[in-house]
Amino acid sequence: MLAMLLSGNDTILSTFSAENISLPLHFTEDSVSSQLFGGMPPDVAEAFTRPVTVNEHELGLSPESFAGSAPLRGSVRPLSHNTDRNGKAFVSAFEHKELPIFATQFHPERPAFEWITQRYIPHSRSAVLAMQYLADRFADHVRKAAVPSNALELIYDFSPVASEASTAYYEQMYSFPLWHGA
């Protein structure tokens, strides 16, 4: 979604065979100096070399589509890539060059918090460590942003609801009303 918004092109995504699979990250040269992955402790960097990222997608951004989009090349930098079951490459993480905008194609929340019967979701120490690192980096950027001091506690204004076990992956979910601010 961010690739479409930043590129101004709603057809920039391609199809991939990357559902129900965990993959290692293949970092780009830019990842070393990135806000998201730069300065990773060695054990976290090593964890990402294992299949710890949970992928659940049919659509994604190919390196060719990225390279062919001047708006994307000008505003974001790819940080990692992966290949799907058919050997087709896709961008798995990127960040904006100036703004605190990050995108991952994978689901960082799943190794620690989703305990369903799918065996492709890794729950190893290294998987949880790697994903917790991303959560901490994201929270650090939220804390630095120009937001009200209580913004991180706003979730407590809402109550989670039990999800239907037959149709949902999660035991609990938050439901937010649509807000149409002026």
How confident is the model over 117-136, as pLDDT tens digits? Answer: 667 887 888 888 999 999 89
| 58-106: pLDDT as tens digits | 999 999 999 999 999 999 999 999 999 999 999 999 999 998 888 999 8
- According to the CATH classification, is domain 2-148 in 3.40.50.880? yes
Element at 26 (helix H, strand E): strand 26-27
176: its two tokens: 């937010």
Q: What is the pLDDT of residues 149-161, one digit of tens each?
A: 666 567 777 777 7
Would you state the pLDDT for residue 151? Answer: 60
CA-CA distance, 12 to 65, in Å (whole number)? 6
Cβ 77 vs Cβ 94: under 8 Å = yes
Length, in residues, of the chain: 182
CA distance 121 to 115: 8
In the chain, the amino acid numbered 69 is S
pLDDT band at 141 (very low <50, low <70, confident <90, very high): confident
Asked whether 19 and 56 are in contact (CB, 8 A), the reply is: yes
